Chains A and B, each alone.
Chain A
């Protein structure tokens, strides 16, 4: 099996994982974790709030945070397992070697390149989008 196939598989794994994270609205769930925690901290630190109010808020936020934790774990597992499953199927039909893809995806060169490219894309993409939205004069 050529190295090119392994690199293509590793790239697919990373791109599909990130795409699925956004498709599953993970950033929104992470923002919700922060919002729920901040809201709870605000009520707990409020000297005018009664113990009953604080108790109800703590119970409600505990349930919400636990639900969000489960949602995040399932979402991340899904985002990782779906592309890994596709690669496993491709390995079963002998189109690529899953072991080789995993070896490439854990190599220092691939990790550094993926991190640099990922940071560049996350930095440039919002700017390109805002340029596309701005009216042409």
Chain B
């Protein structure tokens, strides 16, 4: 038993999206224009290095300044109360 493809069916929409994607890629590949986007080995090395440093700084910042303080706070809340109440 085959499922009927209606205009709103997810399969048809996925197919349409795939065709759109392929058409866009073909349009870009078949109509080349000057990109002025050359990155040489020297600048490329620096671009990768500085991007790595920035991503690392942001990630470590999130972990160090947000994640661990929140974790500590949650632990403090969850800690069973001790003492003479």
Seen from chain A, the residues whose Cβ lies within 8 Å of a Cβ on chain B are: 17-18, 21, 26, 29-30, 33, 36-37, 40, 44, 51, 54-63, 65-66, 68-69, 72-73, 75-76, 80, 106, 111, 114-115, 118-119
Contact = CB atoms under 8 A, between A and B. Distances in A.
Closest 3 CB pairs of A and B: A58-B64, A62-B60, A55-B68
Contacts of A63: 57
Given A58-B60, A111-B38, A33 B68 contact: no
Contacts, number: 90
Contacts of B42: 17-18, 21, 118
Determine the main DSSP class of B at the interface with A: helix
B69 A65 contact: no
Contacts of B59: 62
Interface of B: 36, 38, 40-43, 45-46, 49-50, 52-54, 56-61, 63-65, 68-69, 71-72
Contacts of B40: 111, 114-115, 118
B61 A33 contact: no
Contact of A51 (B41, B45, B68): B68
Contacts of A60: 64
Contacts of A72: 46, 49-50, 53
